[in-house]
Structure 1
Amino acid sequence: MSVASAAIRDAGTSDVPLVVDVDGTLIKSDLLYESALQFLARFPLEAWRLPHWLFTQGKAELKQRLSERADPSIATIPLREETVALIRTAQAEGRPVYIASASDRRLVEALAERVGGIAGVFSTEGGVNLAGDAKARRLVAAFGEKGFDYVGDAPVDFPVWRASRNVLAVAHGGDFSQKVLAAFPGARIVTETRVQPRDVVLALRPHQWAKNALVFVGLVTGHHFDAASTFASLLAFVCFCMAASSAYLINDLLDLPADRIHPRKSRRPFASGAVPVLYGVVLAAILAVGAFVLSFGLPAKFSLALLIYLVLTLAYSFYLKRRMMIDIVVLGGLYAIRVFGGVAALGLPQTPWLLMFSLFLFTSLAIVKRCSELTASLPGEGRPGETKKLAGRGYAAEDLRVLFPFGAAAGYGSVFVFALYMSSPDVAALYTHPNRLWLICPLLIYWISRMFLLSNRDQLHSDPVVYALTDRISLATGACVAAVLAISI
């Protein structure tokens, strides 16, 4: 599939070649961004190389280096159905179809192989970034002026369209359609796509914000219900929501190849191609900075807790999530930091009881989360001895038989800590009837046991904290706990 094999075509014949652009046209993503993200996922400590390659050696060299060291998993990147249909129609008519892209040759050839029936490829090589005028010159040299039809999607494609016989465009919005039609009245708009606000919101994972309700634990356990404390807790909640969404965006961008082969995660906005990956990078930066700006209205300890949370989530996304058991400890810590952040926002001292209780309970919930993901990845009911591994994680199916006991032990450990807490002087200072708090222990045992049973049955399809806030039985259990607290005060 070399350029040398491309023969010059007569524009008047029925076998005029169809030349198809890649980024945004044939695929719903961009190979440069995909490669850069996978490079960062694999070599996070070498992030400095990206600007070094770009500014000292040029864009073409950057693309070559990335193709050598990063695998964007061409087989999983979503194709644009309308463009594929155009290719199949041309092939059925006996017309040769070529792919022309500014991406590195190795990636373009892999994509051509995936599509099938491609006559040849044009790509960035020899230090020449194949975009704009450079692409137009290469195609004219191969097919002659007006000797090919071209499908593109961006302003950089205008020079190529001027040299082509027929202009076909994938328009990302109505404004671009109008510009193309104004410059080329006979142009054909293959499809018009728009990034839907709903998809952008979904990319922020707002349903995961429910976990940030943990910042209100300090408000409730410390019985601080005045207006100032309530406002501080609400502001802390907003900060954690922004920081969490920023972290989720980064995690999703780094996890694209694994998400695209997952039965549920493949429908996420970035994995499905509904939202461009560049949007995610920009949004993640804006949300992270915004969270810190808002945190300055709270005590410095809260800003520190928020910083630790973001550092841990980045470390988790780039490296720790692939390390067996370390990922569980970090996940449990991320739950606990929300609680400590809520206490810090109120300017209250951290208590050792809350520290120990959070350590055990959230470690247990982190194990539940990993067990649920592992169980869901199996083709059928989870079975001991199954060798299938969880994509992007350090676990295999046989680990379930030890993970479940680990999680249950940690969960029951949190109940034990709570029982010890009820014998401490702190309880007598906060509650008039502290003995009534014993009723919370069987409620906790019931809820923790039920979560593990649901996970084992592959019925727990989301984060356990999020699930608890949407599950009627969990909500009823929480209401019972609240009632016990109320009658104990």
Structure 2
Amino acid sequence: MPPTLGRTAAPVATLTPLCVDLDGTLVKSDTLHDSLLVLLRSHPSQALRLPAQVLKGKAAFKAFVTDSVSLDVAHLPYNRELLHYLQAERAKGREIYLATGADVRLAQRVADHLGIFTGVLGSDGTTNLTGKNKLDRLRSQFPDGVFDYIGNDTPDLPLLAHSEEPMVANPSLRLRLRMRASSVQPARRFDQRANPIRSFIKAIRVHQWAKNALIFFPLLLAHHLRPKPLSAAFLAFCSFSLVASATYIINDLLDIEADRRHRRKRMRPFAAGDLSLAQGVAIVITFLALAAVGTRFIAPEFSLWLLLYLVTTFAYTAWLKRIPLVDVLILSGLYTLRLLAGSAATSTPISHWLAGFSVFLFLSLGIVKRFAELENLRASSMEPSNGRGYFLNDMEQLRTFGTSSAYAAVVILAIYISGRDVTKLYHNPGYLWLVVPLMLLWLNRVWLLASRGELDEDPVVFAITDRMSLLIGAATALIVFLAS
């Protein structure tokens, strides 16, 4: 059975027919990989059938995945520079064909969405339309065998070599080297991909490592600043940060389609097509391996807390974040878990005061994150569609929960300052009372800005980028130093 050709009304051909690849070319990502991620997220039981489908061949495998999920083609990360060029060529009356190794039904949906293609050629469940198969199909499609082609990777090299005017879009390093060796020179190049180093740093969310500074808190608050526990805390911080970054990437991969519909998250490296699934998996494996090596030099109890963090974040990503209130309790628990991990790594017990303070404080910050998301949606006249289970009319109740938790944290801090434990650690404990109004100022300001729709949806990002927050943090550190 030959690959299917979807036809629409074609203009009068006055120019050489132009054929363009889909994956990595017109779209910066790979639609098969995108579909697999959606399948894992929405139909995990179907994933058990994937190994058997692979044995049937690439074309049959692609057909199975296309049957299982319906990829959102409207929000794919299109190469805008290339798309504008194709639209201009179409306006001149040029015949443009989408020629791809993707399943023809998915390719046809992309073509229907864009409305610029004369026809569509793709894999049909029997023939995998890549490399030589695609070249043979294009030769048979055009009576004189003449066409122009746009591709991005080494399977496209035979088509580029045969093309009257070869063009590339975001070409891979392998293709660039092979083209140089074969003397094939592209007439045009359509590059639209962010710097890979910047994309990597953005994907691992280095700014989120600030949360892992909580590992140092048991040591700092106990005033046990000796070289050995400090080095253990630093190694624990690095291991925790690597695991956290790995979980962020897993979350981004599984949420890739939802992120593409989000006004801000669509710029994340995987959603934007700046990093591939293969690169994401490689980063995850590398980071987890490095973290495992790091734990060998820390107390065994720390490894248990780190494993609990990893399991909990997986459960949160796959299921728990869709249960209202449970999601914010998990988020606050993960902050407290960092304190417990720091305690285990440095063999420094944490007080019940610190544990109670952290639970209420981080519960408030978890709730304000959800509140800010809803406030931003309301300001944009949009309804929640991320599957989190919250509605716009929940906002007032969330505000009550969040502000109550914030004040509970401050009350625990005040009771701790007035207790006997403080006099054992601080020479001038009276100074610590100055921390209470600073905490009230910061928490009230966070909630005030959230109510105005002026808060970043992540309070951690807000805290490390907001000038007032940084000043309050510096003042608190100075007060604690004077009290010591």
Regarding TM over 0.5, the answer is: yes
Cα displacement (A) at 1:24:
0.9
Partner residue in 1 for 2:56:
57
Partner residue in 1 for 2:330:
330
Question: 8 Å contact 2:15–2:95 — kept in the other structure?
Answer: yes
Partner residue in 2 for 1:94:
93
Q: Deviations over 1:380-411 (max 9, x none)?
A: 5xxxxx77215342222221111111011111
Partner residue in 2 for 1:156:
155
Partner residue in 1 for 2:304:
304
- Larger displacement relative to structure 2 (157-166 or 252-261): 157-166
Partner residue in 1 for 2:347:
347
CA distance in 2 between partners of 1:173 and 1:434 (Å): 62
Structure 2 unmatched ranges of 5 or more: none
CA distance in 2 between partners of 1:278 and 1:244 (Å): 19
Q: 1:90 to 1:35 in 2, by over 3 A?
A: same
Partner residue in 1 for 2:209:
209
CA distance in 2 between partners of 1:311 and 1:52 (Å): 28
Question: 8 Å contact 1:208–1:466 — kept in the other structure?
Answer: yes
Question: 8 Å contact 1:360–1:413 — kept in the other structure?
Answer: yes
Question: 8 Å contact 1:211–1:465 — kept in the other structure?
Answer: yes
Does 1:279 find its partner at 2:274?
no
Q: 1:61 to 1:92 in 2, by over 3 A?
A: same
Out of 450, 462, 466, the residue aligned to residue 455 of structure 1 is 450
Partner residue in 1 for 2:469:
474
Partner residue in 2 for 1:254:
254
Partner residue in 2 for 1:268:
268
Q: 1:332 to 1:277 in 2, by over 3 A?
A: same
Partner residue in 2 for 1:3:
5
Question: Matches of residues 3-402 of structure 1 in structure 2 within 5 Å?
Answer: 3=5, 14-44=14-44, 47-54=47-54, 56-144=55-143, 146-172=145-171, 176-183=175-182, 185=184, 187-192=186-191, 195-380=195-380, 388-402=383-397
Counterpart of 2:347 in 1: which secondary structure? coil
Q: Deviations over 1:114-163 (max 9, x none)?
A: 22131221112133222112222222232246232221111111233355
Cα displacement (A) at 1:32:
0.9
CA distance in 1 between partners of 2:223 and 2:46 (Å): 48
Q: Which runs of 4+ in 1 moved over 6 A?
A: none
Cα displacement (A) at 1:366:
0.4
CA distance in 2 between partners of 1:343 and 1:233 (Å): 9
Identity over aligned residues, as a percent? 38
Counterpart of 1:333 in 2: which secondary structure? helix
Q: Deviations over 1:47-71 (max 9, x none)?
A: 44333432x3332232222222333
Cα displacement (A) at 1:298:
0.8
CA distance in 2 between partners of 1:61 and 1:83 (Å): 30
Out of 407, 415, 419, the residue aligned to residue 410 of structure 2 is 415
Question: 8 Å contact 1:21–1:99 — kept in the other structure?
Answer: yes
Counterpart of 1:122 in 2: which secondary structure? strand
Structure 1 unmatched ranges of 5 or more: 8-12, 381-385
Partner residue in 1 for 2:440:
445
Partner residue in 2 for 1:427:
422
Partner residue in 2 for 1:10:
none
Aligned length: 481
CA distance in 1 between partners of 2:113 and 2:290 (Å): 41
- Larger displacement relative to structure 2 (295-304 or 262-271): 262-271
Cα displacement (A) at 1:27:
0.7
CA distance in 2 between partners of 1:178 and 1:289 (Å): 32
Which amino acid in the other structure matches residue 222 of structure 1? A
Which amino acid in the other structure matches residue 461 of structure 1? D
CA distance in 1 between partners of 2:183 and 2:91 (Å): 27
CA distance in 2 between partners of 1:395 and 1:276 (Å): 31
Which amino acid in the other structure matches residue 98 of structure 1? Y
CA distance in 2 between partners of 1:462 and 1:214 (Å): 21
Q: 1:62 to 1:174 in 2, by over 3 A?
A: closer
Question: 8 Å contact 1:6–1:143 — kept in the other structure?
Answer: no
CA distance in 1 between partners of 2:200 and 2:355 (Å): 36
- Larger displacement relative to structure 2 (156-165 or 57-66): 156-165
Cα displacement (A) at 1:45:
5.6
Counterpart of 2:440 in 1: which secondary structure? helix
Q: 1:53 to 1:352 in 2, by over 3 A?
A: farther
CA distance in 2 between partners of 1:120 and 1:252 (Å): 34
- Larger displacement relative to structure 2 (255-264 or 169-178): 169-178
Q: Deviations over 1:329-361 (max 9, x none)?
A: 111122222222111110223433322222111
